[in-house]
A = this chain, B = another copy of it.
Amino acid sequence: MEVFLRRAPAQPGGAPELGRVPPRSFPRADDVPAPGRTAPDRAVPDYIEYYGRVEHFSGAFAHVGERRRTGARVKSRTPGEQKVVALQEAIRRSGLKDGMTVSFHHHLRNGDKVTNLVMQTIADMGFQDIHLAASGIFACHEPLVPLIESGVITQISVNTFNPGPVARAISQGKLRKPAILRSHGGRPRAVESGEMHVDVAFIAAPTCDEMGNLNGTHGPSACGYLSYAYADAEFADTVVAVTDNLVPYPACPIEIGQNLVDYVVKVDSIGDPNGIVSGTTKITTDPVNLRIARDAARLIDQAGYIKDGMTFQTGAGGTSLAVAAEVREYMKEKGVVGAFGSGGIHSYFVKMLQEGLFRALFDVQCFDLDAIRSAAEDPRHMAMSASLYGNPHTKGCIVNNLDVMILGATEIDTDFNVNVITGSDGVILGASGGHNDCAAGAKLTIIVTNLLKGRLCVVRDRVTTITTPGETVDVLVTEYGVAVNPRRTDLLERLRDSGLPLVDIHTLRRIGEHLTGTPAPQEFTDRIIGVVEYRDGTVIDVVRQPK
């Protein structure tokens, strides 16, 4: 295996001091050539029908500076007004019209019944040409497909997309207008800036009172904090809480207050508990994945990030959890207390909080029952709005304070650009979620993945769709070696004697292609079916309909 350092010798002067690793601010993007896979190369047009004028991506921190939030409309309520109405009545009073935007959160995940119920009611009431702004879409949302086919839903904006029937329908070109694929931080940015104006927000509420005070952590359909809904509650013209648990006034605790809610709708059930969360999240038992996790954890240690006050985020996938398990051992061994774990919270982080390995958790969604219980009971387990989580146009989002972020990838190219949106066949599989938010914020962004998935090599000459720019990705850890982004000369210096199997990412591509064969390029039509917005609102890529 070619050791990367041979090709990119360490900079003179030694490694920068750890706390002083230069942040990924705009100047960094100027230091080195652009990722090379941005607008011109990718043929992102300057104007996209049903989307509008395109602001092209030009660097992870090129579009920051001063911004203005939009001014929300508020219908004043006087004493004695009632808010509890039937769903049809709430829709009628909201003034919904053809062409408007309705929004939903995805904290009920694959158990959500609210989106289907509301959209079917909207269809039954005869509305057409609705823009569905759901923070996430899951397999359970299959009933939306006929509404797409019949033109009730003509546009979708989404930031989490589990592989499933709606994503397939979009890939098949059934949606009249292109889907807008955002990140978890990009969505509230779009809502707060007014770029995505929500006419009516429907907020599934596991607990709610008659005035609209609500929370997600209590009740028979408890799903944890409702962070993705906060921006909608604040900025939508009309806010409708939909609950199956109408409690005596006042609901307690209050996540979203009555000052933001127009109507309350009582339904029999907002979600299927079996789909809302998995009972528990589980660490991988696959020996190859465990080795990847061990290498990633060792890298974190060798790079000097296992230290008091450390901050750490990982998803709930089996390999990511295995990294957390390894990091936990390092922390215990060194007697380290971290500042926080963040992101979607799972039982593993809850355990680390309880063990005193973190002082706090920042929670944007709960992945399992332990996380929901902890959110309801432990004040150190704090909610963060999606805006506080990852919106780049705030005075500092939490991802900016991340030391280490563990992420996955569907594809990664030799410039470290990552795709988590489309398969190599061009079919939509997901959306950014927090991927490009966390990559941009964290001091050390690590992609953990098998080099070979199915019969395909994850490392490509170019990714099918860019979700996350390579300038924000530091390391790729695979079963065939660890590739460090050559921009991170400081990291390469630190890892020189780590014993980790360092390789050039091009070598990984060659190994993978040697084993799987050179992939036949997928062909696409000219039709744009998805617009991929970077977290700052620029367009980093488009998804064209596969042939």
Contacts and interface: CB of A to CB of B under 8 A. Distances in A.
A461 B441 CA distance: 66
B260 A395 contact: yes
B249 A401 contact: yes
A76 B537 CA distance: 14
Nearest to A192: B74
Contacts of A212: 395-396
Nearest to A261: B395
A467 to B, nearest CB: 19
Of A360, A379, A441, chain B has the most CB atoms within 10 Å of the CB of A360
Given A74-B69, A249-B339, A252-B360, A259 B24 contact: no
Which of A68, A79, A250, A443 counts the most B-chain CB atoms under 10 A from its CB?
A79
Contacts of A395: 74-77, 212, 239, 258-262
Interface string A410-429: 00000000000000000000
Contacts of A260: 394-395
A86 B259 CA distance: 37
A538 to B, nearest CB: 14
A392 B252 CA distance: 23
Copies of this chain assembled into the complex:
2
A396 B24 contact: no
Nearest to A443: B79
Interface residues of A, number: 68
Contact of A76 (B66, B78, B362): B66
A61 interface: yes
A51 interface: no
A248 B78 contact: no
Nearest to A257: B388
Contact of A359 (B80, B252, B443): B252
A65 interface: yes
State the 10 A-B residue pairs at the shortest beta-carbon distance, nearest first. A23-B80, A259-B394, A64-B76, A77-B396, A79-B400, A23-B79, A71-B71, A25-B78, A259-B388, A258-B396
